[in-house]
Amino acid sequence: MRFPLRRRRDEDLEDEIRSHLEMATRDRQERGEAAGAAEQAARREFGNIALVKEVTRGMWGGTRLCHLGQDLRYGIRMLRRSPGFTAVAVLSLAIGIGANTAIFSVVHSVLLEPLPYNEPDRLVRIIQNLPATVTIDARPRRVAAMDLNELLDLRRRTQTFSHVATYDSSSEMTLMGREEPIRVVGTAVSPSLFPALGRQPFLGRVFREDEAKPGSPQTIILSHATWRNYFASDPMILNRTLSLNGRSHAVIGVMPQGFEFPDRQTECWVPVVLSPLAQGEIRSLYPIGRLKDGIALVTAAAEVDAILRGIRESAPDRAERVFVPLDVEVVIIQDELVAPVRTALFVLLGAVGFVLLIACSNVANLLLARSTSRQAEIAVRVALGASRGRLIRQSLTESCLLAILGGVGGTVLAFAGVRFLRTLGPVDLPRLDEIGIDLTVLVFTLVLSALTALLFGVVPALHVSRVNQTEVIKSGGSAKGSARKNTRSLIVIAEIAMAVVLLTGGGLLIRSFLKLSNVNPGFDAKNVLTFQIALPAPVNLSALNENLTEEFRARVQSLPRVRAVAFTNALPLVPRSSFGMPRVRGTPIPIEGAPDVRSVSRNYIATMGLRLTEGHDFGENNRAGQPASAIISRAMVRYFGGETPIGKTITLGNREAGIIGIVDDIHERGLDMEPRPQVYVDSRQGFGRETAAFALNWAYFVIRTEGDPASIISEVRGIVRQMIPGATLRLRVASMEQIVSNSVARPRFYAVLLGLFAVVAVLLATVGVYGITMYSVTQRTREIGIRVAVGARPWQVLALVLSHSVILTLTGVLIGLGGAVALTRYLEGMLFGLTSLDPATFLLVSIGFASITILASCIPARRAIKVDPLIALRHE
């Protein structure tokens, strides 16, 4: 905007110069020259009026801002004049910037933001690294849990930790205190945990030491969200009594908003009660420590190592237990929490970086193409006195305009993208809830936009200013600009290479995910409904008995479309710790090889479709009072030293069971993990607390249906309510198929994302190739016309046009494959069933991509064939 003052000065200067010219002209006329000639001579003597004005204006100062204003207006005008170009450029930039912003917001919230504890970098976990030789799946494993006795000893003896706290695995509990019972996830923690974390409760207080002793009144602390959602932020919540799993707990505190431990799913905390352990019973808990100031991680690790060694050397039952080699690590909590996703997130960040680079390359090429057609205009500007610096500045201003537009569009896309990520993201992605766009992310977007402007603007700006004006004006603005052509070709090759790298990565992840999905879980997941029952408060266990359980089973079985009804104490692929420590007679089983013990109904194995390979299933005779029987999975056979396990016994706690059958393994923990050995016992024979009599309280029911399992939910709920007034169904997920699908949510997430980026990259690169070929055809219309006129055949024209793009494509693909070989190693940990150099994927990618780009360049090539030589030659 030209300020009024400035405008007046401009007008004054014009007047001044005009008056100078008039006086000079008049003097000449008085000396005898003709009027017209005098005026011309005066002008010539004056010199370049525009230049004089320009330099004089330069003396006024404050021109920088004025120039910027001019450049901006000029840039806007240029962009509006070619809306197609502007749209494509802005869209490419918006996609690139938006994707980067979205992924960065994930990286920022998950990896960079510190955890909501006091001095979180002093909070550590104690990890024991188990080598591959002792683990059941022959893969090294990091164990975060510690034996309780060792933990207590550690706490007594440590010099390097200021706090050592523990907590147990989270589990679902039934909470009652309102009208309806609800299932919440709760964690048992030691009283020293909250002091260790260093956060004060929002209401009330934290646990006291005496509240963790067996027999003392039970207490509970709620999370802020639980207090808000389930108790309507009741200000009198403290000292209210709630019932948790049938036992009374007094509410003593509410934690502040945003506080979570150990993850966002935990909704309440209770004190860990350490009851005396039964003979041979082992209990493990997770330790969390706070390092004293100035203590390094390795120092603490060395101390823990020494203490544990001391404990194990002097253990009374040393000869009987198998201890694994010690390799202790002390890790900061945050690092451990995000470790599983850190690599993947950085891979995604790299991928969107590539997408942005490809988008910038496209825009740079577009700008270069446009600058070639604007040569005449630029030459005139140079003749009028524009300096090279001015031209570069103006060109960069235009680039900045594009980048700003792209940045705004990108931010909008990013908001949508983040929302999409949060819904698509696997439930167990650490800190998923905290992902959002905040100030830091917006600043990142701003900086990124500026960088992209520089990235794609510099090269065209330099080219623009390198114009040789006389040559251009002479040839009517059609100079070839071969330097430009080479730059554009190089840019396209770079685009293709990057797109190939992304496509390879995406292809690997997708194929890996498909392989994972095809793994047979070992059971038949189709049409199986799963649920638990939430009994009304207070839970009256004495009302439950085996007949009730049987009646429930029979009634559900009689529903139409129900084929079988069974139950178990834990579902496959749903995390749940096992109970007890089975021992094969005379042979201790290493801790890592510990099988899961499953208390199941008589028909569970048949209902779930497990394959019985030897022996027989539980029969009618397996009831209380009869000799106990167990069915083991194939992975346990190795503990019997080559003999057949059938007929041998296995010790569970203080009882023995005879092995009557062997089933095939199931993938209990995950489709990509080695199966864990399983021991199935009939729930009627009363092992542990989970017996058939109380099945309605603890069991996961599995119902095999014909057709959609969800269709019988309401009927089952009706039966439950009829039999036990006030009871409801607790459905975590409706069907077994969903559970299996959820278990691979993370690989699916990565595969979908990287695949998406790869598709975008391929699109952009294809557009780039198309553009450069189309441009080349347009530039060479005249040449093609001549060739056709002297007898060139269509295929020769085709070859001429395609040869360039074929060379570009092949070069780009080769370089891209090389890059992929170098970079896909970072995907190693994310792949299942493939190596990072999987030849099939590489081959597919190269052939696929090359075909697409060559096809894309066929469109302009067809145009070339249709060139009418007469029209082409008249093109000038």
Partner 1 sequence: MRKGRYRNQIEILQGTLDLIILQTLQWGPQHGYGITLAIRANSGETLQVDTGSLYPALHRLERQKWVAAEWKVSENKQRARVYRLTASGRKQLAAERSRWERLQEAIAGILNPVGKETRT
Positions touching partner 1 (CB under 8 A) are 12-13, 15-17, 19-20, 22-24, 26, 46-48, 51-52, 55-56, 58-61, 385, 387
Minimum distance of partner 1 from residue 471's CB (angstroms)? 15
Partners of residue 176 on adjacent β-strands: 243
- Residue 32 or 47: which CB sits closer to partner 1? 47
d(CA 650, CA 656) in angstroms, rounded, equals 6
Residues 6+ apart with CB under 8 A from 850: 809, 810, 813
Alpha-carbon span 349 to 854, nearest angstrom: 29
Query: Cα–Cα distance between 462 and 37 in angstroms, integer?
Result: 42
Looking at beta carbons only, is 17 or 442 nearer to partner 1? 17
The least distance separating partner 1 from the CB of residue 59, rounded to whole angstroms, comes to 4
Backbone angles phi, psi at 501, to 5 degrees: -60, -45
CA 858 – CA 370 distance, rounded (Å): 22
Supply the minimum distance, in Å, between the C-beta of residue 450 and partner 1. 31
d(CA 496, CA 808): 8
Burial of 839 (0-12, 13-18, 19+ CB in 10 A): exposed
C-alpha dist (Å) from residue 556 to 166, 603, 683, 776: 42, 14, 19, 73
Q: How far is the CB of 395 from partner 1 (least distance, A)?
A: 19
Give 22 or 281: the residue with its C-beta nearer to partner 1.
Answer: 22
- Closest CB to partner 1 among 30 and 643? 30
Q: C-beta of 38: minimal distance to partner 1 in Å?
A: 14
Q: How far is the CB of 87 from partner 1 (least distance, A)?
A: 38
Distance CA 7, CA 805 (A): 52
| Shortest distance, position 14 Cβ to partner 1, whole Å | 11
Joined together, the tokens standing for residue 733 give 């997920």
Least distance to partner 1, CB of residue 64, Å: 16
Q: How far is the CB of 52 from partner 1 (least distance, A)?
A: 5
**Which CB atom, from 58 or from 647, has the smaller least distance to partner 1?**
58
Q: Quick one: tokens of 34?
A: 């003709």
Q: At closest approach, how far in Å is the CB of 468 from partner 1? A: 12
Distance CA 335, CA 342 (A): 9
DSSP assignment letter at 735: B
Identify whether the C-beta of residue 589 lies closer than 8 Å to the C-beta of residue 595. Answer: yes
For partner 1, which is the closer residue by CB, 342 or 381?
A: 381
Which residue, 368, 360, 379, is CA-closest to 485? 368
| C-beta neighbour count of 832 within 10 angstroms | 17
Q: Which is nearer to partner 1, 51 or 799 (CB)?
A: 51
Q: Please answer whether residues 64 and 70 qualify as being in contact, where contact means their C-beta atoms are separated by less than 8 angstroms.
A: no
Print burial letters for 370-399: b (CB count within 10 Å at least 16), e (below 16). Answer: bbbeebbebbebbeeebeeebbbbbbbbbb
Q: Which residues, listed in sequence order, are joined to residue 251 by a DSSP beta bridge?
A: 220
| Closest among 584, 630, 578 to 605, alpha carbons compared | 630
* Nearest CB to partner 1, comparing residues 21 and 311: 21
Q: Which among 288, 197, 287, 212 has a CA at the least distance from the CA of 249?
A: 212
Task: Give the span between the Cα atoms of 354 and 501, in whole angstroms.
Answer: 9
Q: How far is the CB of 67 from partner 1 (least distance, A)?
A: 16
Distance CA 235, CA 750 (A): 44
Q: How far is residue 199's CA from residue 196's CA, in Å, rounded to a whole number?
A: 8
The distance of closest approach from Cβ of residue 16 to partner 1 in the complex, given in angstroms and rounded to an integer, is 4
Whose Cβ is closer to partner 1: residue 64's or residue 80's?
64
CB 674 within 8 A of CB 141: no
Complex with partner 1: residue 465 or 678, whichever CB lies closer: 465
Coarse DSSP helix, strand, coil percentages of the chain, rounded to the nearest 5 percent: 55, 15, 30
Task: Name the nearest CA neighbour of 596 among 612, 619, 616, 573.
Answer: 573
Of the pair 302, 386, the CB lying nearest partner 1 is at 386
Q: Where are the alpha helices (DSSP H) in 594-700?
A: 604-608, 695-698
Cis peptide bond upstream of 538, omega within 30: yes
User: Cα-atom radius of gyration of the chain, to the nearest Å?
Assistant: 38
Least CB distance from residue 867 to partner 1, whole Å?
Answer: 40
CB of 382 to partner 1, least distance (A): 8
Closest CB to partner 1 among 53 and 264? 53
Distance separating alpha carbons of residues 694 and 629, to the nearest angstrom: 20
Report CA dihedral (44, 49, 55, 57) to the nearest 10 degrees.
Answer: 150
Helix (H) or strand (E) holding 543: none
Q: How far is the CB of 477 from partner 1 (least distance, A)?
A: 20
Q: Give least dist CB 1 to partner 1, A.
A: 23
Nearer to partner 1, 307 or 472 (CB): 472
Q: Phi and psi (nearest 5°) for 314?
A: -105, 15
Based on CB atoms, which residue is closest to partner 1, 25 or 629? 25
8 vs 73 by CB, closer to partner 1: 8
Between residues 4 and 276, which has the closer beta carbon with respect to partner 1? Answer: 4
Beta bridge partners of 681: 599, 630
Nearer to partner 1, 438 or 471 (CB): 471
Provide, rounded to whole angstroms, the least separation between the CB of residue 364 and partner 1: 28
Nearest distance from C-beta of residue 380 to partner 1, angstroms: 14
| Cβ contact 595:632 at 8 Å | yes
Q: What DSSP string runs through 454-503?
A: HHHHHHHHHHHTT--HHHHHHTTT----HHHHHHHHHHHHHHHHHHHHHH
Closest CA to 357 of 164, 93, 71, 168: 93
By beta-carbon proximity to partner 1, the closer residue of 12 and 708 is 12
Say whether 192 sits in a helix, a strand or coil.
Answer: coil
